[in-house]
């Protein structure tokens, strides 16, 4: 009986040691289909209209850093550069490049005609 308990415990320990690391280890490959997303919603009907931009980390396991957006000719004067910094024409960095935790969102507002924005590059921190 004692031998069976010891074998069962050894089996359980081996199973947990092989399974658990795969649950906590994450890599960019795990998030390949969970790219960051950008959604814009008109939140004001004034002239000019007001938009809320929401950037979402869609990976449930890894923080995402250094999110760059294609942002057209977006003028820096419309938003605080700590929220969205224009680094070059059609290249803006979100949140100063700082990480967004798994499934975390980040938003900012601007008042102007709508600028199309979508993610162009990013890195998962657990790569």
**How many residues does the structure list for the chain?**
127
Please give the tally of structural domains in the chain. 1
Q: Domain for residue 77, yes or no?
A: yes
- 4 pLDDT band, cuts 50/70/90, is low
Q: What percent of the chain has pLDDT over 70?
A: 76
Rounded to two decimals, what is the model's pTM?
Answer: 0.76
- Pairing relation of β-strands 64-70 and 84-88? unpaired
| CA distance linking residue 99 with residue 97, whole number of Å | 7
Q: Domain for residue 74, yes or no?
A: yes
Q: Domain for residue 16, yes or no?
A: no
What b/e string do you get for 71-85 counting C-beta neighbours within 10 Å, with b at 16 or more?
A: beebeeebbeeebbb
Q: Domain for residue 2, yes or no?
A: no
Q: Domain for residue 99, yes or no?
A: yes
Q: Domain for residue 11, yes or no?
A: no
Q: Domain for residue 114, yes or no?
A: yes
| CA distance linking residue 67 with residue 84, whole number of Å | 10
Residue 100 DSSP class: B
For residue 112, what are the domain limits?
28-124
Beta-bridged to residue 68, according to DSSP, are: 93, 121
Q: Does residue 30 or residue 108 have the better pLDDT?
A: 108
Q: Domain for residue 79, yes or no?
A: yes
21: which residues sit within 8 A by CB, 6+ positions away? Answer: none
Q: pLDDT tens digits, residue range 60-107?
A: 999 999 999 999 999 999 999 999 999 999 999 999 999 999 999 999
CATH of the domain at 93: 2.60.40
């Amino acid at each position: 009986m004692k031998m069976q308990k010891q074998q069962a415990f050894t089996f359980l320990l081996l199973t947990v040691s092989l399974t658990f690391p795969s649950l906590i280890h994450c890599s960019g490959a795990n998030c390949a289909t969970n790219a960051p997303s950008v959604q814009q919603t008109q939140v004001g009907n004034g002239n000019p209209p007001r938009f809320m931009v929401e950037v979402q980390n869609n990976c449930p396991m890894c923080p995402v850093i250094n999110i760059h957006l294609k942002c057209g000719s977006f003028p820096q004067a419309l938003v605080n550069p700590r929220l969205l910094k224009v680094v070059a024409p059609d290249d803006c960095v979100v949140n100063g490049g700082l990480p967004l935790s798994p499934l975390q969102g980040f938003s900012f507002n601007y008042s102007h005609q709508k600028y199309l924005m979508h993610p162009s590059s990013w890195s998962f921190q657990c790569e």
